[in-house]
Amino acid sequence: MLSYRHSFHAGNFADVIKHIILVEILEYLTQKEKPFEYIDTHSGAGLFNLKSADAKKLEEHEAGIGRISQEDFPEIDRYFEVVHSCNPSIHTNFYPGSPSIAKYFLRPQDRAWLFELHPQDYKLLSNSMKQQKKIRVACEDGLKGLDSLLPPMSRRGLVLIDPSYEIKSEYDQVVSAVEKAYKKFPTGTYAVWYPVVDRSTIDRMERKFIRSGIKNIQRFELGVSPDSSERGMTAAGMFVVNPPWTLLDKMSQLLPRLAQALGENGHKLFKCDLLSGE
């Protein structure tokens, strides 16, 4: 479980879809002055050097953030704004993880709780957030830590859950964690990232969410190639509970264009739908 390092994959197509949605939700939450709390159960290192040995080994960012531009996608200018804020020059040499994206949007009245179990990534994350009094970093199991933070004092919040899923049982653990959290904090927004390596596993995860009784669940998925049992991750997506009311319409217009830009060999694969109504 602790062998996974996101530094090898930062900025890939899965990050693009995940972080676009994260930015949309955070931007929506900041439209009101009332404070909110951000909880990140699997935070990672927080910021990634795309020129590092890890990133250059696979260079997955070249087929992700490297294929899209603010000029071609002005509707997601805040996403590019966050990415650019991490780079001192016009070149994208650094890519923000979810903690850095959240930090960009947090105001003095907001708070964040970041969990990371990998000791090296925890150290990197702690160092990058040490000047942030409104952000707490813990080397703990984020799914267990989540339970102790709900409901938040502000009664407004976003929970991001994006484990590596190296262990197959994590798929079921994630659904169970969201079910438990939803009972304590039914008005919160929950964004659950998933990789499509085995489609049947994601189908089972989808059915579990639909049968859970949780209301207002939307699903957004971006694929770069058809499902296959031979080539690893072919798509990635997010289940979002209590999304902003603007999200479905925006993603329904954006995803076809993203799929065209990031798909391999002309493939244009995406899903954008409502799994459970309000």
Give pLDDT, residue 6.
Answer: 82
- Annotated catalytic, 72? no
Mean pLDDT of the region 160-184? 96
CA distances from 23 to 82, 95, 155, 252, 268 (A): 9, 14, 20, 16, 23
Cβ-contact 23, 79 below 8 angstroms: yes
Name residue, tokens 């708070």. Answer: 111
pTM for the full predicted model: 0.95
Q: Which long-range contacts (CB under 8 A, 24 or more apart) does 5-9 make?
A: 5/54, 5/118, 5/120, 5/121, 6/44, 6/45, 6/48, 6/97, 6/121, 6/164, 7/45, 7/48, 7/49, 7/52, 7/54, 7/55, 8/54, 8/55, 8/57, 8/58, 8/60, 9/58, 9/60
Classify 216 in phi/psi space as left (phi over 0), alpha (psi -120 to 50) or beta. left
Reported in sequence order, the residue ranges of the chain that DSSP labels E, i.e. its strands, are 37-40, 47-49, 94-96, 111-115, 135-138, 157-161, 189-196, 217-223, 235-241, 269-276
- Contact residues for 104 (Cβ-Cβ < 8 A; gap 6+): 82, 85, 96
Q: pLDDT per residue over 44-87, tens digit each?
A: 999 999 998 988 888 899 999 999 999 999 999 999 999 999 99
Give pLDDT, residue 278.
Answer: 86
Q: Looking at domain 6-276, which CATH architecture does it have? A: 3-Layer(aba) Sandwich (3.40)
Q: Collapse the DSSP code of 225 into the 3-class scheme (helix H, G, I; strand E, B; otherwise coil) and give the result.
A: coil
Q: pLDDT per residue over 91-120, tens digit each?
A: 899 999 999 999 999 999 999 999 999 999
- Measured CA to CA, the distance from residue 177 to residue 184 in angstroms comes to 11
Among 7-11, 34-38, 47-51, the minimum mean pLDDT is found in 7-11
Copy the structure tokens of residue 142: 């984020």
Give pLDDT, residue 55.
Answer: 85
pLDDT-based confidence at residue 254 (cuts at 50, 70, 90): very high
Q: pLDDT per residue over 115-170, tens digit each?
A: 999 999 999 999 989 878 899 999 999 999 999 999 999 999 999 999 999 888 99
Looking at this protein, which amino acid is placed at residue 57?
K
Looking at 63-211, list the stretches that DSSP marks H as alpha helix, in order from N- to C-terminal side. Answer: 77-85, 98-105, 119-129, 142-149, 169-184, 199-211
Q: Phi and psi of 190, rounded to 5°?
A: -120, 125
Give pLDDT, residue 246.
Answer: 96
Average pLDDT, the chain: 94
Give pLDDT, residue 4.
Answer: 59
- Measured CA to CA, the distance from residue 146 to residue 209 in angstroms comes to 18
- Contact residues for 11 (Cβ-Cβ < 8 A; gap 6+): 48, 50, 55, 60, 61, 64, 65, 66, 92, 95
Is 246 exposed, middle or buried (CB count within 10 Å of its CB: 0-12, 13-18, 19+)? exposed
- Measured CA to CA, the distance from residue 253 to residue 258 in angstroms comes to 9
Determine if the peptide bond prior to 244 is cis (ω within 30°): no
pLDDT-based confidence at residue 230 (cuts at 50, 70, 90): confident
Catalytic residue among 40, 72, 162, 203: 162
pLDDT-based confidence at residue 2 (cuts at 50, 70, 90): very low
